[in-house]
Structure 1
Amino acid sequence: MLYSAVISYGLLVAIGVNAQSQSNSASASTAASGSISSSQQTSSGSASQSTIPTSTSDGNLILSGTAKHTTTALTGTRNETTTSSNTSSTQTSTSITETPTNVTPCNGHPLFCDRKYGNITEVAAHNSPFIRPGTAAANQALPVEAQLDDGIRLLQGQIHFVNNTPHFCHSSCDMLDAGPITDYLGSVYKWISTHPYDVVTILLGNGDYTAVEKFVPFLEATGLVQYAYIPPKIPMNITDWPTLGSMILSGKRVIFFMDYEADQKLVPWILDEFSQVWETPFDPIDRNFPCVVQRPPNLPDAETKMRLALINHNLNYEISLLGNSILVPNIPLLNITNNVTGFGSLGVNAQQCTEKWDHPPKFLNVDYYNVGNGTVFEVAAKCNNVTYAPERPCCGVAASDAPRALGVNRVLATAVVALLAGLYLS
């Protein structure tokens, strides 16, 4: 019965998508100051400028790579003594030397190299592996490689075990089985290994509350564990995290979180989510998106402000089909939900969370991030006080005919076929 409900919803999905418009385009937010400080003249004639963390022989710090670097003036003094028959005087002059400053982007922007991980807002792909068209269980349109190319920096998905092998499945593997986690995370590994200046977070949803050690051999098989970050303390608060630059230099630039059953003393590189991250209500249906803590429950405000924040901005609505009540993505409102401004928009939600908790959220968790042509990334840029200026139009080429508001006729046809097949088989 649930299967019939899912395929029936495919028809509603296609109709809803066919009705929406893609008038939004990626626009740059207004430029603002970043984290790197400007040069300041000192009383001794010295100038100082913060630099990006990387080691060099002279003690200066710079991220090295294929990108070009600029130079700027740095401190330097020289004492000169002149002697005459009656007096001796000392002259002090300032010598100008060069020190490199960073233009290599970390997670898409040079300023982020010098910022702490906890002080950067990033867009998260809610249920990243679930991209199958024509089903209520899908939440994204583009494959994970395209997600990462476009700027997604948190990948999240729920895991269930099938014949002792962990699969990415949405609520139930009967509803949507995206395959073994080694397949999906293997693709993530390939991307990570070819993008040395990016830090990526992976949130593992432990749908069966399985002991954490059971995941280890499968995660090791993906190759990602060599990049896994191990924190120096348990738990980490928002100010404890290192800068992106230092994580990149160390090679430990993949952060694994698990929502339930993590044990950092047993597996130190799989971090317990809810001792370090809090979330707004899951599967929200209220377009006001109240910025309140749902998980972990009963978290005091003072502790909330010291943790990373994940806001679930993936609007759902409840439908009843064939006696089943299920929550599904509110596709007809995606252009508004993913927008920068307007009631129910991601931009308004991020702003209210910033005002309430004294700092921007860490993660903006959205469905179909591509709808809006980059507006979700513009919201993140505003939170980070930088300009959204992508090198290419967002967003990537769809691997399926999932919601893009263009070319949806095939989605509609697929949904109709699925509906007829379901009726025939029922």
Structure 2
Amino acid sequence: MPSRKTVLLSALAIIIITLLTGTSLAAIILATTSNAQTTATTTTTAPRACNNQPSYCDRSYSDLTQVGAHNSPFVGPLPQHNQNLPVTSQLDFGIRFLQAQTHENPFDNSIIQLCHTSCFLENAGTLEFFLEAIRDWLDGHPNDVVSLLLTNQDSFSVSKFDETFEAAGIREYAFVPASNPGKLPMDEWPTFGELIDAGARLVVFLDYGANTAEVPYVLDEFAYFFETPYGVTDPTFPDCSIDRPPNASPDGRMYIVNHFLNVEIFGVKIPARERAAQTNAATGEGSIGDQCALCRSLYGRNPDVVLVDFVDQGEVLKAQRMLNGV
């Protein structure tokens, strides 16, 4: 409420304007009131944004393309590294789908470690520490849904993953399908807005070893997705065939496009860092848009996930918006 001093000064100003211009007092008061009403009626609340886009709130999880960070924990300038940004910076940048490899800790096989092929080649720390960073980020971003795809090359039990998620304090965020322990049909996935409203803002997939009867929130990747070939060395990305699971039908499955380029040196494949800008372009030969168009011609729909290296290079978020019609 305005102070008495403010009211008196406003009244004095109106009287002075009246004397100087000859405008009637009633007209000035009417104009002042009209302007105040106009300002009040034009002030609106911004629509809620889910994963940084208002239009995503009403989109089903299975009907949206997300660009994801391949090997998200392996950060640095060395040949074995796949990303330039730490995981929380990847999330800040706009990435909401993270993929990571898990292995046994070489000194304690009860600990799940994030390692690239071998812990002696690249060791990015424990899964628990990684999950804690994601939990802290989710705590500060209440309108975002993060997806996590983990590989299980050393065949940990799913209960061991559950223990690690609990220790990291992130299990409370995990999405459990209404169909549990059965598979959730592709056309019954909730929208991003519904996931946020339910507090289920972490969607977890495991490539091998999931058992939703035992741990309901760790979902079987290949029950829900098929993948295109990985380890690609052809910069035109000419292949969108189903690589995993073998002989799978695309019907009823979402799908992941492995759009990260490798170069082979002495029989060893490493990320093609020098071509990241072209590989991660939105359009053009060998771009994200180019390979997705090829896949769309085969399956009649866009991919649900496009995994890339070096998410900060090229136009990955532009490509994501383009594929989602934003």
Both structures adopt the same fold (TM-score exceeding 0.5)? yes
Question: What's the secondary structure of 2:294's corresponding residue?
Answer: helix
Counterpart residue type for residue 84 of structure 2: A
One of 259, 264, 272 as aligned partner of 1:330: 272
Q: Unmatched 5+ residue regions in structure 2? A: 1-42
Corresponding pairs, count: 278
Counterpart-to-counterpart distance in 1, 2:77 and 2:253: 36
Question: What's the secondary structure of 1:275's corresponding residue?
Answer: helix
Equivalence for 2:311: 369
**Does 2:151 align with 1:205?**
yes
Counterpart-to-counterpart distance in 2, 1:222 and 1:348: 39
Equivalence for 2:318: 378
Matches within 5 A, 1:256-267: 256-267=204-215
Counterpart-to-counterpart distance in 1, 2:50 and 2:293: 24
One of 84, 97, 101 as aligned partner of 1:141: 84
Counterpart-to-counterpart distance in 2, 1:331 and 1:132: 11
Deviation string for 1:164-190 (max 9, x for gaps)?
211100010010000111111111100
One of 190, 206, 219 as aligned partner of 1:271: 219
Give the Å deviation of 1:292.
1.1
Summarize the Cα distance change of 1:293–1:221 in structure 2 as closer, same or farther, 3 Å threshold.
Answer: same
Matches within 5 A, 1:109-188: 109-134=53-78, 136-162=79-105, 163=108, 164-188=110-134
Counterpart-to-counterpart distance in 1, 2:145 and 2:264: 36
Instruction: Report the TM-score when normalising by structure 2.
Output: 0.83
Q: Decide whether the 8 Å contact of 1:228 with 1:256 is kept in 2.
A: yes
Counterpart-to-counterpart distance in 1, 2:301 and 2:98: 22
Give the Å deviation of 1:351.
1.8
Q: Decide whether the 8 Å contact of 1:69 with 1:103 is kept in 2.
A: no
Give the Å deviation of 1:69.
5.5
Counterpart-to-counterpart distance in 1, 2:48 and 2:230: 36
Determine which structure has more spread, i.e. the larger CA radius of gyration: 2
Q: Decide whether the 8 Å contact of 1:305 with 1:358 is kept in 2.
A: no
Give the Å deviation of 1:346.
1.0
Identify the range of structure 1 (169-178 vs 337-346) with the bigger mean alpha-carbon deviation.
Answer: 337-346
Counterpart-to-counterpart distance in 2, 1:349 and 1:227: 33
Summarize the Cα distance change of 1:371–1:69 in structure 2 as closer, same or farther, 3 Å threshold.
Answer: same
Return the structure number with greater relative CO, CA threshold 8 A, min gap 6.
1
Deviation string for 1:76-130 (max 9, x for gaps)?
xxxxxxxxxxxxxxxxxxxxxxxxxx71100111111111011111110000000
CA RMSD for the aligned pairs? 1.4
Counterpart-to-counterpart distance in 2, 1:351 and 1:360: 8
Deviation string for 1:110-168 (max 9, x for gaps)?
1111110111111100000000322x221000011110011111111100111021110
Equivalence for 2:287: 345
Q: Unmatched 5+ residue regions in structure 1? A: 1-67, 71-101, 387-426
Matches within 5 A, 1:388-407: none
Matches within 5 A, 1:11-410: 70=45, 103-134=47-78, 136-162=79-105, 163=108, 164-233=110-179, 234-289=182-237, 290-300=239-249, 304-320=250-266, 325-372=267-314, 375-386=315-326
Question: What's the secondary structure of 1:184's corresponding residue?
Answer: helix
Identify the range of structure 1 (326-335 vs 311-320) with the bigger mean alpha-carbon deviation.
Answer: 326-335
Identify the range of structure 1 (271-280 vs 348-357) with the bigger mean alpha-carbon deviation.
Answer: 348-357
Give the Å deviation of 1:378.
0.8
Instruction: Report the TM-score when normalising by structure 1.
Output: 0.64
Counterpart-to-counterpart distance in 2, 1:69 and 1:159: 47
Counterpart-to-counterpart distance in 2, 1:286 and 1:133: 23
